[in-house]
Amino acid sequence: MWNLDGTLIRRDTLLPFLRQVCGPIQVGRAVAVATGRRLARSGHDGPRARLLQQLLGARVTAEVDVVARRHAEDLFAHRLRADCLRRWQWHRHHGHRLVIVSSSPEVYVGHLGTLLGADTVIATRMASVNGRLTGRISGGDRRGAERARRVLAHTIERPAGLLWAYGNLPADRDLLDLADIAIQVRPLRHLNAMTDA
C-alpha cells in the first residue's frame, strides 16, 4: 500500500492538476474562498471538498480526463521519487500486489496507477451525471477513517501474507497502522535499496 502525495510523488498533486484544468487565477481565487474563516465555520463540507466542487463542478468528464491523463504522464515522467520507484519495482519483482491509496482524485491517480503497473488504486472518486462532473465526491473522501475502511475492505477481499505500507505524513498514520511493515518516507531521506540476500 502506497500513499501518493509526498511518498511516491515528491509533492502535492492536486493543486497542479486543478491549475491545468482551470488555470492558476481561478484556482487561486477558489483556494482563498475555500480556506476562508467563514467557510471553515460553516459546518458544511471541508475546504478540500468545496474546492473540488467549485473547480470541477459542471466540467465535461471527457475533457477533464484528457488533462488528467497528461497530468499522470507528467507525474510519471518527472515527479516520481527515484528511491520509492526502486522500492516499488523491488516489490513488483517479488510478486507483491501494488496498491496506491490516495485522497487525490481517481481521475488522474487511476491513470498514474496504470502507468506504474499498480494492481489497484484506491482514490477519491468524483461523481458525474450525463457526462459532466458534479464536483461532488462519490462514496466518501479517501482520507482518515474512510481510507482505513477502504484499505481494510480491500485486504479482506484480497488477503496478503504481509502488508507493507508507505506513507509520509501524520495523516498517513491510518494507513501505516494497518501494516505489518510500516515505512515512513521522509522528504530529505532516501529509502535504502532492498537486497535479496
By the 10 Å C-beta count (0-12 exposed, 13-18 middle, 19+ buried), 25 is classed as exposed
Q: What would the pLDDT profile of 130-181 be if each residue is shown by its tens digit?
A: 999 999 988 766 666 777 778 778 887 887 788 999 998 777 888 898 899 9
- Round to whole Å and give the CA distance between 83 and 191: 6
191 has pLDDT over 70: yes
pLDDT digit string, tens, across residues 77-102:
999 999 999 999 999 999 999 999 99
User: The C-alpha cell of 80 is what?
Assistant: 516520481
The CATH fold assigned to 2-184 is Rossmann fold (3.40.50)
3-class DSSP state for residue 9?
Answer: strand
Question: By the 8 A CB rule, do 1 and 96 touch?
Answer: no
pLDDT at 180: 92
The Cα–Cα gap between 145 and 19 comes to 28
**Domains of the chain: which residue ranges?**
2-184
Residue 159 or 61, more confident: 61
Rounded Cα–Cα distance for residues 154 and 32 (Å): 36
For residue 41, the model assigns a pLDDT of 45
The pLDDT tens digits of the residues spanning 1-45 come to 999 999 999 899 999 999 999 999 999 999 988 887 444 444 445
What average pLDDT score do residues 108-114 get? 98
DSSP state of 191: P
- Rounded CA-CA distance 70/101 in Å is 20
Query: What pLDDT does 38 receive?
Result: 47
